[in-house]
Structure formats: structure tokens, C-alpha cells
Amino acid sequence: MTLVPLGPNQIAFLLHGAVWTVVLSLIACLGGGALGMVVALCRVAPLRAVRAAAAVYIQAVQGTPPLVAMFLLYFGLPGLGLNVPSLLAASLALIVNVSAFLGEIWRGCIESVPRPQWEAAECLALSRTQRMLRVILPQAVRIAIPPTVGFSVQVIKNTSLASVVGFVELARAGQIVNNSVFQPFLIYLLIAAIYFAMCFPLSWLNRVLERRTGGWRRRPAALTAAIPVVSA
């Protein structure tokens, strides 16, 4: 028995699966992020009905497994005469899932910008949109970076769910290769290592960013001595 029972074709197959994991992660994060931004803004909208609708959406999505959503899209829709390719089914299910979680995370970030900042912006006659874009969101983004990066690690791992609808990403590629060489311990250890190699940089980035929250702090607060007021 050789140490690595894999031929170059099988390794290429795994790497091919890993590429699709990356692609699916990007689709889920970018699509889910865009939709999540809409959800977050709806959660803090002035209209109660909009806020309530967003809350219902978040509750509904967070309360159902993304796995079931994939089944629904991939196996359920053809029953209604709509054929959905596995990549599309997996992408949609993940986008919806990510948007609900990011929407709720970002709502918290927006609301954690201190209330007086809203008030100060309001008293300068800025419109609601201007207050949001120029004052609140730039500060909320700083707060949002660590939890957002942390959650995207979660998303990468969740892409493995797509294997159940026959989409060949890394986990499914591992299953297929294992079916021919039957070395499950070794194969799945290898798969785990590849996932780790994808997630670790993000976890590391997260730690770096968390260490420097409040990125506009260029240097420590320099309390310069009180200078005399120039007479007008």
C-alpha cells in the first residue's frame, strides 16, 4: 500500500471540486451580502410594515435548514415543471440563507452606532438617506467587519451541503474519489485539510481585524495641549 493512494487524475478531480467550493462560496457571500444589505436596511426602515416583513423573512429563513431549501429547489421544483440545475439550486438556497444571517448581523451593527450620531446628523439637516450613507453606514462597516468575516467562514463550510443535490464541490468530489479508492479516513482527512486551508486565512484575517476595531484610529489619541482661542 502506498502512502497516498491517489493518482494525478484523482488529485486533479479533488482540486477541481475545491475550485467549485470557492466559486459557490463567492456566489453565496456576494449574492447573500447584496441581498443581506437590503434585508438589514429594511430592518431599520422607518415604515413598520417593511421592518415587520424583513423580520418575518429572517425568522423564516433562520428557522429552516439550508439543506431542506436545497431539496425543495432541486427536487421540489421539477415536480412543478421547473427544472433547476444543481448549481442554481445550491446557489439560491445559500444566498437566501446568507442574506438572512448577514441581514440580522448588519442590523445589529447599524443599530450599535450610538444614537447621538443619528441625532447630530439629523440636526445638521441631512436627509435620512444622507444620514445613513454618510454618517451611520461608514461607522457600522467598522463594527461589521469581524462578525462578517467570521460568518463567511461558516458559509464556506456550508457549501458542502450542495453535495446532496449532486453538485460536485469539494465534499462530493471526496466522496466520488473515495468510492474508487476506498480509503475514507485518508480521503476525508485530506478534504478536511483543504477546507481548513480555505477557512484559515479568513479566521486569521478576522483575528487581525478584531484586534484593530475602530480602523479610523490612525494613532493613539494625541491629547494636544489646549491652544488659545484665536480672536475673531
Partner 1 sequence: MSDTPIIELRDVQKSFGTLKVLDGVSFAVARGQVAVLIGRSGSGKSTALRCIDRLERIDAGEITVCGHRLADPKLELRALRQDVGIVFQSYNLFPHLTVEQNVTLAPMAVKRVPRAEARATARDVLARVGLADKAAAYPEQLSGGQQQRAAIARSLAMQPKVMLFDEVTSALDPELTAEVLRVLEQLAASGMTMVLVTHEMGFARRIADLLVFMHGGKVREMGPAGILSDPQTIELRQFVSHELAHAGQ
Q: Any contact of residue 139 with partner 1 (CB under 8 A)?
A: yes
Q: Which residue in 1, 49, 80, 223 binds partner 1 (CB under 8 A)?
A: 223
Q: Which residue in 138, 166, 184, 201 binds partner 1 (CB under 8 A)?
A: 138
Q: Any contact of residue 112 with partner 1 (CB under 8 A)?
A: no
Q: Which residue in 7, 19, 60, 134 binds partner 1 (CB under 8 A)?
A: 134
Q: Which stretch binds partner 1 (CB under 8 A): 3-11, 91-99, 114-122, 152-160?
A: 114-122
Interaction pattern, residues 155-194, with partner 1; x per rule: CB under 8 A: ----------------------------------------
Q: Which residue in 59, 62, 112, 127 binds partner 1 (CB under 8 A)?
A: 127
Q: Any contact of residue 49 with partner 1 (CB under 8 A)?
A: no
CB-based contacts of 108, cutoff 8 Å, min separation 6? none
Phi, psi of 216 (to 5 degrees): -80, -5
Q: Any contact of residue 120 with partner 1 (CB under 8 A)?
A: yes
Residue number with CB closer to partner 1 (47 or 232): 232
Q: What CA–CA distance (Å, rounded) separates 232 from 230?
A: 6
Q: Any contact of residue 82 with partner 1 (CB under 8 A)?
A: no
- SS3 sequence of the chain: CCCCCCCHHHHHHHHHHHHHHHHHHHHHHHHHHHHHHHHHHHHCCCCHHHHHHHHHHHHHHHCCCHHHHHHHHHHHHHHCCCCCCHHHHHHHHHHHHHHHHHHHHHHHHHHCCCHHHHHHHHHCCCCHHHHHHHHHHHHHHHHHHHHHHHHHHHHHHHHHHHHHHCCCCHHHHHHHHHHHHCCHHHHHHHHHHHHHHHHHHHHHHHHHHHHCCCCCCCCCCCCCCCCCCCCC
Q: Any contact of residue 132 with partner 1 (CB under 8 A)?
A: no
Interaction pattern, residues 195-214, with partner 1; x per rule: CB under 8 A: -------------------x
Residue number with CB closer to partner 1 (79 or 214): 214
| Residues at the contact surface with partner 1, assessed by CB under 8 A | 116-117, 119-127, 130, 134-135, 138-139, 142, 214, 216-219, 221-232
